[in-house]
Amino acid sequence: MKYAVKFYSQVENPEGVPGTWPAITIDGPDTLVVPDGFTGMTEAEHTAYVESHQAEYDAWVEAASSTKLSIKNKLRDKIDAKTDEIIDNGMVYQEMQFKMDIEHQMSYKGTYDFRAYLTYPYTIKGVGSHYLTFQNEGEFTQFILYGFGFMNEVIRGGWVLKDGLDALSYAELVSWVDPRG
């Protein structure tokens, strides 16, 4: 058996694999014609070569894995921060902006808990000089449900982005940009 080998130092290598590691290996009969740019090796030479470079390759795999994990963790943190920012900046309801940071969420929830005791029409303030008046409990309930739906959708979108990181290569992770801006 004969091998034709092209090393990572001879091919595009965005992952940074050690240049001494075989990138492409063609095995064939002893009569195999070694293509240009490849190194010919016997089976014994190939086996010895791989064994002699295995430790270097294994060290790279370990380092690359921890680096890739570190990048994914940083990206997950950025996705979480962007998700929080989107929620905090609020939602648009009936063409008005409403903050949805934790303070406003608790205010809306507290008011909602006592919705049956409110005097309608009931008015809340949006961002800027916008005010929204609810004529009855049903209108107020629609607003609350819309707000929680908005938050749930933003959070779900963050989960999808974080789950998608697992399928990306090192090069893709390094250049990844949150599509939400």
Segment 17-27 shows an average pLDDT of 85
Rounded CA-CA distance 106/151 in Å is 13
- Residue among 142, 140, 82 at smallest CA distance from 114: 140
Which residues are 2's β-sheet partners? Answer: 28, 42
Residue 8: pLDDT over 80: yes
Chain segment 128-177, per-residue pLDDT in tens: 999 999 999 999 999 999 999 999 999 999 999 999 999 998 889 989 99
| Percent of the chain residues past pLDDT 90, beyond the cut | 53
Rounded CA-CA distance 62/49 in Å is 20
Residue 90: pLDDT over 80: yes
Q: Are 60 and 16 in contact (CB under 8 A)?
A: yes
Mean pLDDT, all residues of the chain: 90
pLDDT band at 77 (very low <50, low <70, confident <90, very high): very high
